[in-house]
Amino acid sequence: MNVLLTRPLLQVKELQSMVLKSGNKPLFFPTLKLNPIDAKAEKSHYDVVIFISANAVEHGLKILKTMSYHQIFAVGSATARKLSENDTKIDDFPRENASSEALLALDSVNCLHHKIILIFRGRGRGGRETLKQGLIKQDNQVEYVEVYERVSHDINSLHYQSLNEFLLSNEGIISITSIDSMKSLLEISSQILDINKLKNYLLVVLSDRIKTYVNSIGFDKVLVTPNASDNGIISVLTNLNTLDKSVKSS
């Protein structure tokens, strides 16, 4: 089965390999690109720093090295792994689910009070404030440093090629990893075809929040991954493949 991969090209190699191993065909359709921001933190010392994504780690480590801090947290396992790969010790992160809610639920985060906290994140088109507001409720002072921005990818021949091949089959899966990615998918696709054609295909998304958004714009065939990771995407593909084989053999 064809799987349309919408992540930035520089971040999709591992997922591409996993999709191939699962017996499906990956098609590249980059919806976003990441541009670094020449940013700096307001202070030289923070009690706590939090990285909201692996991208924030990649673009924020240079700033981290210019400051001192007592504790460091990651929003999920992929972000924590990126920190570890860069020899940065992590105090804690949610093991089961990568989300602001899961991070706030950790005992090690729930006990933070009267701390000065810096959150490393990207600049998107309407980011969530869940983590910041949750920390403020615990009487913490919270600041952001935005170290990259997500912008829509320029349309090119790869988009035409992948979309044309994807539409050759009535079956196919579109992988969506963020609301920004979905918005850009529609922006790019609308220059190629009637986007209503895409509503016939199954979307695999990383969270209930993304599902709520895509449902609101008319996409009804949606499955949410068990966790917000590449493994979560592959587990859905594997289950679909198993179900398809079972139906065909019955």
Domains, the chain: 2-31+154-249 (3.40.50.10090), 34-150 (3.40.50.10090)
The pTM of this model reads 0.77
What's the whole-number mean pLDDT along residues 67-73? 97
The answer to whether 41 and 118 are in contact (CB under 8 A) is: yes
What's the whole-number mean pLDDT along residues 107-134? 88
Q: Residue 78: what pLDDT?
A: 84
Share of the chain above pLDDT 90, in %: 76
Asked if residue 119 has pLDDT above 70, the reply is yes
Candidates 21, 5, 7, 23; CA nearest to 240 is 23
Give every CB contact of residue 160 below 8 A, 6+ residues apart in sequence: 192
98 confidence band (pLDDT: 50, 70, 90): confident
Backbone angle region of 215, left / alpha / beta, with phi > 0 → left and psi within -120 to 50 → alpha: alpha
Q: Residue 41: what pLDDT?
A: 94
Q: Residue 230: what pLDDT?
A: 85
What's the whole-number mean pLDDT along residues 181-200? 95
11 confidence band (pLDDT: 50, 70, 90): confident
Q: Residue 227: what pLDDT?
A: 81
**For residue range 157-182, what is the model confidence (pLDDT) as tens digits?**
999 999 999 999 999 999 999 899 99
Element (H, E) at 236: helix 230-249
Q: Which two tokens stand for residue 143?
A: 């600041």
Q: How far is CA 191 from CA 159, 196, 197, in A?
A: 10, 13, 13
Mean pLDDT across the chain: 91
